[in-house]
Structure 1
Amino acid sequence: MKSNVVLMTILTCYFVVLGTVYTVWNLIDHGNVEWAGSTAIILSGGLTGFIAYYLAKTRKAQGGELIEDRLDSDIDDGDPELGEFSPWSWWPIVLAGAASLVVLGLALGFNFWISFLSIPLLIVAVVGWTYEYYRGYFAR
C-alpha cells in the first residue's frame, strides 16, 4: 500500500504542475484560459490527491506495514476468508436479468410497461436469493 500512496502522491504533483503549466501556456499563447483542459487537469490532481490521502490514512489505521508490503511474507499470509458462496444458485442470474429489464424499461423512454412488469420478478429474485438457505435441500 505504501507504493500506492507514493504513486498517487507523484501523480498529484504531476497533475498540479501540468495544470499550472497548461494554464500559463494558454495565457501566454492565446491570451485567455482554455477552461475545459485546465479544469480537467487540475481536478485530476485533486482526485489523485484525495486517493493518496485516503490510502495514507488507511495504511496508518491498519498499523503501517501490511502483509503485501513485507518481503518475507508468503502468499498464504494474506489469504483471508472471503465468505460463503453458492455455486449452484441460479438466483443471481435471475436477479441480474430482472434488474436489466427494469433498467431497459427506464432507458427506452415511454416503455415503462417493461419496468412495471419486471419489478415483481426483481422482488421475487431478491427474496429468493436472500432466503435460499431456508428452503429445500440446503435448508438449515
Structure 2
Amino acid sequence: MKVETKIFLLLAVYGLAVGTIYGTFSHWSEPVGAVAFYLTGLACLLISSFLWWTGRKIDSRPDDDPSGEQGDVEGDYGFFSPHSWWPLFLAASLAVIALGLAVGWWLVMLAVPFVALAAIGWVFEYFHGEHSL
C-alpha cells in the first residue's frame, strides 16, 4: 500500500499546486477551473489517507519491498483471454454509436443491437464451443 499512497499523495500535491497556478494566471476571474483542481487534489488526498490508514493495519505486501521479485507474489492473477475478437466488435459498434450521436439518431438505433450482441458474445465467450470452461 505504500506505493499507492505515495502516488495519490503526489497527485494531491500536483492538483493543489496546479489549482493555485491556474487561479494566479487567470487572476481568479474564472474560479471554476481552480476549484476543479482543488477538488481533484482533495479527492486524491482523501484516497491517499485512506490507503495510508489501511496500509498500517495490514501486513506488508511483496509490492512494498523495493528488492522484491515478480515471483514473490503468490496466487492466480486471473484468466485473460489470449485471443478474443469480441472487444474489437464492441469497440467498432461503440464507435458507430459515437458517430451516430454526431450524424443522426438513426445510426445510433442501428448500432445498439450490435453493441448488445458484442457485449453478450464477449461475456459468454467461454460458455460454449471449443474453448468452453
Fold match, TM over 0.5?
yes
TM-score norm. by structure 2 comes to 0.70
Structure 1 position 131 matched with structure 2 position 124: yes
Distance 1:52 1:86 in 2: 36
Structure 1 position 92 matched with structure 2 position 87: yes
Distance 1:43 1:105 in 2: 31
**Aligned-residue RMSD, C-alpha:** 3.1
After superposing the two structures, state which structure 1 stretch, 43-52 or 58-67, moved more: 58-67
Change (3 A) 1:98 1:42: closer
| Paired-residue identity, % | 20
Selected match of 1:48 from 30, 37, 41 = 41
How far is the alpha carbon of 1:69 from its aligned partner?
Answer: 3.5
TM-score norm. by structure 1 comes to 0.68
Structure 1 position 102 matched with structure 2 position 105: no
Partner of 1:11: 14
Distance 2:97 2:21 in 1: 44
Which of these two proteins has the greater Rg computed from alpha carbons?
1
Distance 2:105 2:41 in 1: 40
Partner of 2:66: 71
Tell me the amino acid that sits aligned with residue 97 of structure 2.
V
Distance 2:59 2:20 in 1: 29
Unaligned runs of 5+ residues in structure 1 are 27-33
Unaligned runs of 5+ residues in structure 2 are none
Deviations 1:69-123 (A, max 9, x none): 4334224335774321222221111111111112211222xx2221111211111
